[in-house]
Structure 1
Amino acid sequence: MVYLLLIVGLILLVAGGEGFVRGSVAIAEKLGMSSLLIGLTLVGFGTSLPELVTSVQAALDGAPGIAVGNVVGSNIANILLILGITALIFPIAVDKAILRRDGSVLVVASLAALAIVMIGTLGRIAGVVLIAMLLAYVLFSYFADRKAQAGQTVVAEIEATGGHQPVWLSIVFVIGGLALTVFGARLLVSSAVEIATALGVSETIIGLTVVAIGTSLPELVTSIIAALRRHTDLALGNIIGSNIFNVLFILGVTALIQPIPVPPEIIGFDIWVMLGATALLLGFSYTQREIVRWEGGVLLALYAGYIGWLALGAIG
């Protein structure tokens, strides 16, 4: 039964995040917000909503392994698993201009996460700093490139299925999506903790694997669709943006709501895997104009090795 609740929680998270994004974008369009501002704020927030609610719920429930592991594990999965699969389907195009801007922010965000993790506590001061960095990033991106193609493409994808719906229906999507996400997060966290306890596995490992992959499903679906439609530049931008939001927004909000200790497993190993994956992503992106299939294979093999290492640790 507990495994069924875990699956139901994941489904509700994905459905809730999708409904929230569709409703929010439609309302923003009615209010005359620009495409880029919608892409940087509502879409970025909406696709990160499952991770946000899950981490906050885990922090409130006293499960720091899931709260922090969810963010670190999601960033690792986004690069090694999702980009790996995407590149195997079709080589990922690299926009060097966007990569220089957003890639630099990703490096800064990752180093900020390292600093906080090494301190050992996710406190409110760190939360304020992370949120301030996120606001600076959004404002800078908006004013630096009002016509960014990435933002327009994301919004166009959403508008095609829900951008012109009635306002009342958009409000229903927003409220319903948020409610589904919150309820799904409660099911996911409680069932994940119960499974970890029953199997004798740490909450941190559950957070780094099952919860992290589950909350990354929106990014996985978006990237696979982008690859099948040969819009792989959207997939790369989606992953970089998601990883930035995960660190600055999710860790920031979680710290403000409920300060928590950082599990020692993450300090000793997983944060370094996240940094290594980020460095590998930027290395592959800068060497040529696309991330080719063999590089996608390397990313996927490294993720398999990472999961295997965690499994051996859990068995040990």
Structure 2
Amino acid sequence: MTYLMVLGGLVLLFVGGEALVRGSVSIARKLNISELVIGLTLVGFGTSVPELVTSLQAIDKGAVGISVGNVVGSNIANILLVLGVAAMIRPIMTNPRALSRDGMIMLGVTALLCVLIWFDGFSRVAGIALLVLLATYLIYSLVADQSRDSDPASLHAAEGGTVEASYGLLLGLVIAVAGLAGVVLGANLLVDGAVTIARDLGVSETIIGLTIVAVGTSLPELSTSVIAAFRGKSDVALGNVIGSNIFNVLGILGMTALVHPFTLRGGMAVEAMSQQHVSSIISSKDVGALILSVFLLMLFVMTGRRIARWEGAVLLLAYALYFGLLFNLIPVPGILPHG
């Protein structure tokens, strides 16, 4: 029954997320909003809504490991699993000039996440700062892209064009609301099921968050990337993955810390806690996998015009290696303090 609950939650997250994006895009087009804005906001970040709702649901239930593990695991899965599978199906054509700006921002955001994990700095102030950075990134991108005919602007406009949604204002609103309801219900089922599975299997909630939950909430990115690869528009899907990873850190963790500050060394309410002798729920292997995934992506994107099949295989191999480390099949020395 528990596994059916998790499966049902994943299905609702995927279907609801798709409906939310398509309904929102349809409304935006009816309001004559440009494809550039649609691509950068509704499409670029829309696929991260399942992660956002799931993390908020998890933090509300006190499941910090699932909430944070979902974000860290999703960013790892987006690169190593999603792009790896897509590249194995068909090499992913890339435009380094179009991806360089957002790629560098993703690199900086990932470094910021590592710093926050190291210092366990997920306070309400940090949450506000992350959301301000997200707003700054959006405003800067929109202004920069609209001021000139740039490669990033073309990429974001193409992202908007990939969504086939022309339902009109009213029907689009109904579809978007129904999609949001599906995402909320799916996230609730997924979190409850994931917590139960963790207890039944005797593993930490963080591991479940890094695996089952993270992979499940990354299904929209996987679907987008695979379809785009078959259509020969894989650079658009690659840009969507980069945008999703940026939003996961700045938007999801920012909103989560703002709503309910937490600690990686003990749970909730970090503001008055000092837990220097408690292990971090995000370990050195998790941070290492996150850094490795970003390094491999930037290396493959910037050194060629495509992510070849053998490079996709490298990404998938790295993901398999991470799972081996995650389940202690391969020993690894500790790097994080007490983690």
How does the TM-score come out when normalised to structure 2? 0.89
Question: CA shift at 1:29, angstroms?
Answer: 1.2
Question: CA shift at 1:297, angstroms?
Answer: 0.6
Partner of 2:222: 220
Partner of 1:155: 160
Local SS of the residue matching 2:242 = helix
Match of 1:269 among 272, 285, 296: 285
- Kept in 2, the 8 Å contact 1:79–1:239? The answer is yes
Partner of 2:18: 18
Give the whole-Å Cα distance in 2 for the aligned partners of 1:213 and 1:283: 23
Give the whole-Å Cα distance in 2 for the aligned partners of 1:312 and 1:107: 28
Which stretch shows the higher mean deviation, 250-259 or 30-39?
30-39
CA deviation map 1:161-198 (0-9, x unaligned): x22x1321111111111111011100000000000001
Give the whole-Å Cα distance in 2 for the aligned partners of 1:93 and 1:56: 35
Question: CA shift at 1:283, angstroms?
Answer: 1.1
- Kept in 2, the 8 Å contact 1:120–1:267? The answer is no
- The structure carrying a bigger helix percent of its residues is 1
How does the TM-score come out when normalised to structure 1? 0.95
Unaligned runs of 5+ in 1: none
Matching of residue 305 in structure 1 with residue 321 in structure 2: yes
- Name the amino acid aligned to 2:160: V
Instruction: Quote the sequence identity (%).
Output: 51
Give the whole-Å Cα distance in 2 for the aligned partners of 1:224 and 1:233: 11
- Kept in 2, the 8 Å contact 1:39–1:152? The answer is yes
- Name the amino acid aligned to 2:210: L
Matching of residue 201 in structure 1 with residue 206 in structure 2: no
Partner of 1:109: 109
Partner of 1:40: 40
- Name the amino acid aligned to 1:37: V
Give the whole-Å Cα distance in 1 for the aligned partners of 2:296 and 2:263: 28
Matching of residue 283 in structure 1 with residue 299 in structure 2: yes
Give the whole-Å Cα distance in 1 for the aligned partners of 2:97 and 2:259: 36
Matching of residue 294 in structure 1 with residue 310 in structure 2: yes
Local SS of the residue matching 1:273 = helix
Give the whole-Å Cα distance in 1 for the aligned partners of 2:219 and 2:192: 19
Give the whole-Å Cα distance in 2 for the aligned partners of 1:139 and 1:267: 34
Partner of 1:131: 131
Question: CA shift at 1:258, angstroms?
Answer: 1.1
Matching of residue 122 in structure 1 with residue 117 in structure 2: no
- The count of aligned residue pairs is 311
Matching of residue 182 in structure 1 with residue 151 in structure 2: no
CA deviation map 1:112-135 (0-9, x unaligned): 111111121421111111111111
Partner of 1:241: 243
CA deviation map 1:8-59 (0-9, x unaligned): 0000001111111111111111222111111111223321100000001111
Question: CA shift at 1:311, angstroms?
Answer: 2.6
- Name the amino acid aligned to 1:217: L
- Kept in 1, the 8 Å contact 2:48–2:244? The answer is yes
CA deviation map 1:124-157 (0-9, x unaligned): 1111111111111111111111362222222222
Matches within 5 A, 1:66-81: 66-81=66-81
Give the whole-Å Cα distance in 2 for the aligned partners of 1:133 and 1:36: 20
Local SS of the residue matching 2:327 = helix
Cα 1:35–1:29 change in 2 (3 A) is same
Local SS of the residue matching 1:33 = coil
In the TM superposition, structure 1's runs of 4+ consecutive aligned residues that sit over 6 Å from their partners are none
Unaligned runs of 5+ in 2: 266-279, 331-339
Local SS of the residue matching 1:145 = helix
